[in-house]
Amino acid sequence: MKKLTILLFAATALAAGCKKFTENINTNPNQPTVVTPNVLLSASLNSSAANLALDFQNTARWMGYWSRSGSYIEDVPTETYDIQPSYADGSWQSLYAVLTQYKGVEAAAGSDPFYSGVAKIMEALHFSTLVDGFNNVPYSQAFNLNKYPNPKYDDAATVYAALVQQCDSAVYYFQKAIVYYGTAPSTVVSTDNTYDIVYGRAALALSATQRMDYWIKFANTVKLKLLMTARGSSASAFSASSITTELAKVTATGQGYIGSDYAGGGIAYDVAANESASVNPGYGTANAAQQNPFFGSFYVPSGTPNNNLAYYRANTYYVNYGNNFSDFRFTDDYLINLGGAPYVTGNYDGDPNAVSNSLSSQLGQSTVPTTIGPLHSSAQDEFLMSDFESLFWQAEAASLGYNVGTLTSGKLADIGTEQSFVYVDDTGSGSASQDAADAETNFIAGTAGTIVDISTSTPTLRAIMTEKWSALNSINWEQAYTDYRRTGYPVPDGTNFGFSHAQNRVTHSSKDALGNVQSVNLPYRYLYPQSEINTNAGNIPAGTSAYTKIFWDNREQ
């Protein structure tokens, strides 16, 4: 028995030793658990770029830019509009994931206001995309897992109004940053500059103050986008007077909008002022993950294509528009077939008789890198907001009588179009001024007819939106889809965008922007995603279908 007692003592001593043995080896040797805000910001902005480049690509088909090749099997939900909750789930999740990244930037920002400013404005941009796709979404209770494991859904108009305020606070932080950089250590200034992969890029060579000026322009433009998008809403926050008040705040900042320093008068263009908000951390061919994400979804780094390039073809809808209205950007967006230029063949999306690859045009040009078209190289910038998109936002606001500066809506749309031509390097001259001149000769002054003639000082909304739609081809399809839903435009040839040629499409009748009844319509929105049904079912608004309108959608039923 004595021995047993001794043993028990020994065991107790061992137990005390046990703790030491097991502690102190649980520190993660593989990954950091604390990081600085700069590395979070660069990753967040790069995610934003991927998000804009890859999400909601279905709308590039819905908006008549791309079609499925006849060599591939039908994509039933996209082509027949029979969408399910899982349909846009991936895009929902990637949007919330990137928003979470910016929340992390905000949390880590510390005393450096620049990081808070970027986070605020990027949140506003991505949340607007969410609302545009899903209407009510979790906002006020989002990003707080411990407190709100099941975040409630906020009213879409309320979210939008909050996003407008978020643009103001972004401007506030950027203004603060200008002051902060005045006294901050030079290492802080240079680190922030390096990790600002939007405006801090060496190619732009901006001073800290200039960088902040550009960010303020971007914030102002996002605010304009929010106000213009929501103007169809009946919410008081988006009444004409509220919009006027909010735009007055923009004017008060002094920086204006992206591209708004374009000089007026004559056929002027300002090709040097590339103010587009675009991401480029150093895209290139070093690795598949280091390619521009849009380009990288079509090519491997060595420049050989992957299956996506074979899967997506030119859409006959856009090709016909280009031919009919002499908008030769379609020869930049798509490959001119060997049959003789300009000759581009596409398919109508979902067409049961769609032709195969060797008989239809691919996206972009036959060899990469190229300067022509939206798909040109591994190293190309990824737009968060292109200058031409900004100019069309300003044109829309100006045409509605809002004060966005000195230029007329016609002038704004005109230079927006020119900038688009410059971007796609129409005719491949490599000269920006030549491209801008092409815009005038081939297009604006061409056989454009009533829709596209924006050389007059007061173009119709139809003309502006059609121009914008054309400019956004293969660049911002999701915005084109939103523009279509909120304005009903473009309707370039009198037919509605129920233009998938798939059989057995889901039918939903409504009137198009010209007042004609259409029996087949694009979905008005996405369904709440399956992941939310699985995890947050209690909060999902009831009774939504693919034809429930987003809060700003006031089209006639």
Partner 1 sequence: MKKLLLVSLCFLMLSITQVFAQNRTVTGTVTSKDDGTPIPGVSVKIKGTANGVATNSAGKYSLSVPSGAVLEFVSIGFTTVDVPVKGSTVINISLATASNQLGEVVVTGALGQKLQERSLGYATAQIDSKQLNQAAVTDISTGLQGKVSGLQVNLTNNGIDPTTRIVLQGNRSITGNNEALLVVDGVPIDDVNYITTINPEDVASVNILKGGLAAAVYGSKAANGVLIITTKKGSKGKPSITVSNTTEVQSVSYLPALQTGFGGYGGEGGSFVNADGTVNAVPYENESYGPAYNGEKILMSLSPIYNSSGAVSGYDTLYRNYSPIKNNRLDFFNNGITNQFNVSYDIGSDNGTLHVGFQDVDVSDVIPFDHARRDNIRIGGTENYGKFTVEYNASYNQNNVSTYGASYNQTSGGFSGDLFYFELLNTPADIPLTKTTLQSTTGPVVYDPSDLNGQYSNVNSYYNAYSGNPYWALEDSRENRDTYTFQGNINLSWKATSWLTFSDRISIVQQTENYDYYHQGITFAPWAVSDPEHAGNIPSALVSIYPATYFDTYMEQLLNNDFIAQFDKKISNDFKISGLVGANMQQSYQTNISLQGNELQFPGDYNVSSTLGIPNYGTDLFKERDDAIYEEATLGFKNWLFLHGTNRDEWNSVLNPAHDHYEYPSGDLSFVFTDAISALKDNNVLSYGKLTAGVAEVANINLGNGTNPYGAYSLVNPYNVANGFPFGSIGGYSLSGLSLNPNIEPEKTIDKEVGLELGFLKDRIHFTANYAHSDSRNQSLTASVSTATGYSEELTNAGLVTNDVLEFDLNTTVLKSRNWQWNLGLNFTHFANKVVELAPGQNELELPGTSDIYAVVGKPYPVIETEDFVRAPNGKVIVDPTTGMPSVSSSLTTYGTTNPTKIFGINSALTYKSFSFSFVLDYRGGNEIFNSTEATEAFTGISAQSAENGRQRFIFPNSVVLQNGQYVNNTSVAVVNGNGGQGGSFWAGVYGSALGSIYVDNAEFLKLREANLTYTIPTSALASALPFIKKASIALIGRNLLMFRPKSNDSIDPEFSDAGSGNAIGNTSVAETPPTRFYGATLSVSF
Number of H helices, E strands in the chain: 21, 6
Q: What token pair was written down for 273?
A: 């002022």
Q: Phi, psi (5° rounding) for residue 279?
A: -100, 135
* For partner 1, the closer CB: 268 or 537: 537
Measured from the CB of residue 396, what is the shortest distance to partner 1 in angstroms? 31
Question: Would you give the DSSP letter of residue 350?
Answer: T
- Runs of H (alpha helix) within 385-537: 387-399, 409-424, 432-438, 449-452, 461-471, 477-487, 530-535
**Helix (H), strand (E), coil (C) string for 88-122:** CHHHHHHHHHHHHHHHHHHHHCCCCHHHHHHHHHH
**With contacts defined by CB under 8 A, how many residues of the chain interact with partner 1?**
106
In whole angstroms, how close is the CB of 148 to partner 1 at the nearest point? 7
- 7: contact with partner 1 by CB under 8 A: yes
CB atoms inside a 10 Å sphere around CB 103: 16
Name the one range near partner 1 by CB under 8 A: 266-274, 288-296, 403-411, 440-448. Answer: 288-296
Nearest distance from residue 222's CB to partner 1, in Å?
Answer: 21
> How far apart are the C-alpha atoms of 22 and 24, rounded to whole Å?
7
CB of 42 to partner 1, least distance (A): 4
Question: Measured from the CB atom, is 156 or 224 closer to partner 1?
Answer: 156
Give the residue among 170, 266, 259, 154 at the shortest CA–CA distance from 212.
170
Rounded to a whole number of angstroms, the minimum distance from the CB of residue 74 to partner 1 is 5
Q: For residue 548, state whether it binds partner 1 (rule: CB under 8 A).
A: no
Q: By C-beta, is 171 or 354 nearer to partner 1?
A: 354
Tokens of 85: 């909750």
Comparison of 23 and 241: residue with beta carbon closer to partner 1: 23
Asked if residue 415 binds partner 1 (CB under 8 A), the reply is no
Q: Is 106 in the site for partner 1 (CB under 8 A)?
A: no
Binds partner 1 (CB under 8 A): choice among 9, 56, 61, 73: 73
Per CB under 8 A, 84 contacts partner 1:
yes
When the beta carbons of 363 and 464 are compared against partner 1, the nearer one is: 363
- Orientation angle between helical segments 113-134 and 156-183, nearest 10 degrees: 160
For partner 1, the binding residues in 193-222 under the rule CB under 8 A are: 194-195, 197
State yes or no: residue 359 binds partner 1 (CB under 8 A).
Answer: yes
* 547 near partner 1, judged by CB under 8 A: no
Which H or E run contains 328? Answer: none
Residue 235 within binding range of partner 1, rule CB under 8 A: no
Question: Under the phi-then-psi rule, with left for phi > 0, alpha for psi from -120 to 50, and beta for the rest, what region is 506?
Answer: beta
Q: Please report how the helices 208-230 and 113-134 are oriented relative to each other, as an axis angle in degrees rounded to 10.
A: 20
- Find the shortest distance in angstroms from Cβ 330 to partner 1: 21
The interaxial angle of helices 113-134 and 37-54, nearest 10 deg, is 30
50 makes contact with partner 1 (CB under 8 A):
yes
Q: Considering only residues 10 through 39, tell me which ones interact with partner 1, judged by CB under 8 A.
A: 11, 14-15, 17-19, 21-23, 25-33, 35, 39
Site string for partner 1, 372-401 (x = CB under 8 A): ------------------------------
**What is the three-class DSSP state of 363?**
strand
Contact 320, 67 (CB under 8 A): no
Shortest gap between Cβ of 122 and partner 1 (angstroms)? 14
144 binds partner 1 (CB under 8 A): yes
* Alpha carbon distance, N-terminus to C-terminus of the chain: 92
Length of the chain equals 557
Rounded Cα–Cα distance for residues 286 and 305 (Å) = 16
User: Given candidates 327, 334, 354, 548, which one binds partner 1 under the rule CB under 8 A?
Assistant: 354
By the 10 Å C-beta count (0-12 exposed, 13-18 middle, 19+ buried), 123 is classed as buried
**Which range binds partner 1 by CB under 8 A, 116-124, 179-187, 230-238, 293-301?**
293-301
User: Would you say 296 or 374 has its CB closer to partner 1?
Assistant: 296
Query: By CB under 8 A, is residue 51 in contact with partner 1?
Result: no
- Over the window 298 to 327, marking each residue x when it contacts partner 1 by CB under 8 A and - when it does not, the resulting string is --xxx-xxxxxxx-----------------
Which residues, at least 6 apart from 27, have a Cβ–Cβ distance to it below 8 Å?
Answer: none
The 3-class secondary structure across 11-51, one letter per residue, is HHHHHHHHHHHHCCCCCCCCCCCCCCHHHHHHHHHHHHHHH
Among the candidate windows 172-180, 287-295, 399-407, 421-429, which touches partner 1 by CB under 8 A? 287-295
Closest approach, Cβ 194 to partner 1, in A, equals 6
Q: In angstroms, what is the minimal distance from the CB of 516 to partner 1?
A: 23
Contact criterion met (CB below 8 Å) for 139 and 159: yes
Minimum Å distance from CB 303 to partner 1? 9
**186 lies in the site for partner 1, by CB under 8 A:** no
Site for partner 1 in 502-521 (CB under 8 A): 502-504
Q: Mark the segment that binds partner 1 (CB under 8 A) among 112-120, 266-274, 392-400, 529-537.
A: 529-537
